[in-house]
A and B are shown apart, each in its own frame.
Chain A
Amino acid sequence: MNSRQQILDRIRTATSGDRSRYEDLPRGYIHAGALENEARIQLMTERLREYGAEVVECAASDLPATISPQLRDSGRHRFIVPDGVPHEWLAEDFTWLRDQNLIYDEIEQCAGVMTAASAGVADSGTIILHHGPAEGRRIISLLPDFHLCILRASQIVETMPEYFARFPNPPRLATFISGPSATADIEMTRIKGVHGPRFLSVIIVRDDA
């Protein structure tokens, strides 16, 4: 008998007679948030800033004009973008590399990246990428040291359960980012930026304009 069968048999013997239905599981925790629109965006902003992330807001029509100064402030010139990012986001005065299967070294040599996102969770200040066309491959938001993330206000939910409710079809890939990469491995001193981007900048775009 192979190990698979052996293990499954042992498990079945151990659990024979157990009855537990998924539908009956207690779910008494908070699902929906209580905050109004403004307060939710405010909370997202606060939580991101607590992580040391840079956050600005703008109206949809002002997005290209808002991207430029954010990039300039980062002190970097060359940026990678996923292939699916809208053309109008690509501000002039910067060098843009569209990710059409860039090799690792090309990505590594690029100091910054700009992507869209799939969702934001205000309660934990989390940005979630599902790595679609405008969010790009996982590697491009990992190797560069600076990540500018464009998040629409309507993508921001208050609680973690609200995010999961919004995506009943699970993504094949997801990266949850809560502030820049960090470690507290040496004497519990929190140090920003170990391997992932050390600098995270977020533009929250108002959809209502």
Chain B
Amino acid sequence: MSGPVPISTPVMDPRLAPPFPKAALPILQNTQLRKNVAHATDVIQAKRNRLVAEKKDWQELRTSASAIRAHVLANLATYLEQFETNCTAAGGVVHWASNAAEARRIIIDILREENATEVIKIKTMTSAEIQLNPALEAAGIAAIETDLAELILQLGHDEPSHIVVPALHVNRHQVREIFARQMGLPQLPNDPEALTAAARTYLRRKFLSVPTAISGANFLIAETGSVAIVESEGNGRMCLTLPRTLITLAGIEKVLPRFADLEVMLQVLARSATGERLNPYNSLWSGVVSGDGPQRFHVVLLDNGRSEILARKVERQTLQCIRCAACLNTCPVYRQTGGHAYGSPYAGPIGAILTPQLERMRHAQSLPYASSLCGACYEVCPVKINIPEVLIDLRAQVVDQERVDSARWTDPMYLGMKAANFAFASASRFRMAQWFGRLGLRFFTGKDGWIRKLPSLGSRWTLSRDLPALPDQTFRQWWAERESKPKTGADK
């Protein structure tokens, strides 16, 4: 039988989550979870690579997508106002939320006015960001997740580990157990088809009876005031069409200038996210349309730190993100840890830069270091976010915090960095450091000239790697020796 779903319930609140290296530990020991993650990322990545390769104008599409998103950010206020005007004219109500608490309050107020006791939800990263579900529960409103993966997690009391495929860490046997238990279907077989059918039946009643829905937004169109949602299952269409009242929660950065800009964004998003030419369903609507769909429509525009990210030159590109998760699938770190280690709904490379910024660098400071800076994320990003560049800039912000923290005097990494900087400042200091290094390491060196165990920070290296002893002669010593001898035309 398969292993348990999570070893311990992952903490997805960046203010409470343990630092990344610590959070990763239990996951690295969970072979079943790692197998599930590796399989899923392999499949998506192979599909993505195949479909990107067939697209002759892929780089041109990327260039345009990136430029459109950067253009939006440079003119964000104008486009948001335009969106607001057009959405309002089309019958929508636009709200502005400075932070997570305000967004939660606006949504709960609307739901209370609707006398809602239940609300159906399309998968929305933004609602996870503002931790909406616990707030709804506290307000006596049951949130029903309708995306298959989100339903699996909700019923299994688990947390999402991927932006696009949130339950990729769970396998069919685990899904069967959850559904059998929670839906009262002890005979349920474990093939994905039967499990999907069970979810369809389970949710159909909810779709037909719950009169309020919450969605996120993939894009807001300034020109028309419309909202675009990209999905596969049709649960989105259900939530967008059947209820009487719809609330859309969207980050302020989600806006696009014109309807026609979707010709770029839809093409790059589908290929990057799921490795499809286009995902099964894209829905687009403008405000309220008489006789079709919800007759009350609210949009909540969420800032929650975004305008501060906008103000930073290097970091601004973070907001170009269209949440395709291609960076997760290709990331060698994410592939080992899955999403839970990131302690935030935003996992992987994009999470490593977005989460600490949304927390105004007061939490999640370990995330910018959760990367080997290999650059695979930047290579696949459809809007060309230079994630390594942002990671490095955020690391500099973290170090700037350390510089005024008294704990720095006991942090071997900090002290090592300062010592190295001192040594690198002149050749004579560097030579001396090399000499001391050789001497110091001699104590740990075995008879075969290798070091198997080091103390302190060095033990993190020797966790899995031996270290060759420092050679007797550095290159500069060899060079000096060579220079002092008469030239013979050949070296030793």
A–B contact (CB under 8 angstroms): yes
Seen from chain A, the residues whose Cβ lies within 8 Å of a Cβ on chain B are 2-4, 6-8, 10-15, 18-22, 25-30, 47, 51, 101, 104-105, 108, 121, 123-126, 131, 137-139, 142, 160-161, 163-165, 168, 170-189, 191, 193-197
Seen from chain B, the residues whose Cβ lies within 8 Å of a Cβ on chain A are 36, 39-40, 43-44, 56-57, 60-61, 63-64, 67-68, 70-71, 73-77, 80-81, 90, 96-98, 102, 146-149, 152, 165-168, 170-172, 175, 192-193, 195-196, 199-200, 203-204, 207-208, 221, 223-224, 226, 232-235, 237-238, 240-242, 252, 257-260, 262-264, 266-267, 270, 274, 276-287, 289, 291-293, 301, 303, 307-308, 310-311
**How far apart are A157's CB and chain B's nearest CB, in angstroms?**
11
| CB-defined contacts of B308 to chain A, threshold 8 Å | 10, 14
| CB-defined contacts of B61 to chain A, threshold 8 Å | 29
**How far apart are B100's CB and chain A's nearest CB, in angstroms?**
12
Verify B277–A194 contact, CB threshold 8 A.
no
Evaluate whether A194 and B102 lie within 8 angstroms (CB atoms) in the complex, with A8-B77, A175-B281, A185-B167 already known: no
A-B pairs under 8 A by CB, number: 245
Residue A8 contacts which of B80, B90, B170 (CB distance < 8 angstroms)?
A: B80
A105 to B205, CA, bound (A): 11
A6 to B241, CA, bound (A): 33
3 nearest A-B pairs in the assembled complex, by CB-CB distance = A196-B234, A195-B234, A14-B311
Whose C-beta in chain B lies nearest to the C-beta of A30?
B57
What are 22 A-B contacts defined by CB distance under 8 Å?
A10-B303, A11-B76, A14-B307, A14-B308, A15-B310, A18-B74, A21-B71, A26-B64, A108-B204, A121-B278, A131-B289, A171-B284, A172-B285, A179-B280, A181-B232, A184-B274, A185-B149, A188-B40, A191-B196, A194-B148, A195-B204, A195-B233
Verify A170–B224 contact, CB threshold 8 A.
yes
**A30-B57, A186-B171 given; 10 more Cβ-contact pairs under 8 Å:** A3-B102, A19-B74, A29-B61, A131-B289, A131-B292, A139-B293, A188-B39, A188-B168, A195-B204, A196-B237
Verify A186–B148 contact, CB threshold 8 A.
yes
| CB-defined contacts of B286 to chain A, threshold 8 Å | 170, 172-173
Verify A163–B223 contact, CB threshold 8 A.
no
| CB-defined contacts of A160 to chain B, threshold 8 Å | 263, 266-267, 278
| CB-defined contacts of B168 to chain A, threshold 8 Å | 185, 188
A30 to B54, CA, bound (A): 13
Verify B98–A7 contact, CB threshold 8 A.
yes
| CB-defined contacts of A108 to chain B, threshold 8 Å | 204, 208
Verify A7–B303 contact, CB threshold 8 A.
yes
**How far apart are A104's CB and chain B's nearest CB, in angstroms?**
5
Verify A177–B280 contact, CB threshold 8 A.
yes
Residue A170 contacts which of B170, B195, B203, B259 (CB distance < 8 angstroms)?
A: B259
A163 to B270, CA, bound (A): 17
| CB-defined contacts of B167 to chain A, threshold 8 Å | 185-186
A172 to B286, CA, bound (A): 5
Evaluate whether A28 and B263 lie within 8 angstroms (CB atoms) in the complex, with A123-B277, A173-B286 already known: no
Whose C-beta in chain B lies nearest to the C-beta of A108?
B208
| CB-defined contacts of B43 to chain A, threshold 8 Å | 184, 188
Verify B96–A4 contact, CB threshold 8 A.
yes
Evaluate whether A142 and B241 lie within 8 angstroms (CB atoms) in the complex, with A2-B96, A104-B208 already known: yes
Verify A175–B283 contact, CB threshold 8 A.
yes
| CB-defined contacts of B274 to chain A, threshold 8 Å | 184
Evaluate whether A29 and B64 lie within 8 angstroms (CB atoms) in the complex, with A164-B262, A183-B148, A183-B233 already known: yes
Residue A15 contacts which of B73, B90, B165, B240 (CB distance < 8 angstroms)?
A: B73
**How far apart are A135's CB and chain B's nearest CB, in angstroms?**
11
| CB-defined contacts of B263 to chain A, threshold 8 Å | 160-161, 163-164
**How far apart are A177's CB and chain B's nearest CB, in angstroms?**
6
Verify B165–A185 contact, CB threshold 8 A.
yes
Evaluate whether A189 and B234 lie within 8 angstroms (CB atoms) in the complex, with A15-B73, A22-B257, A28-B64 already known: no
A185 to B152, CA, bound (A): 9
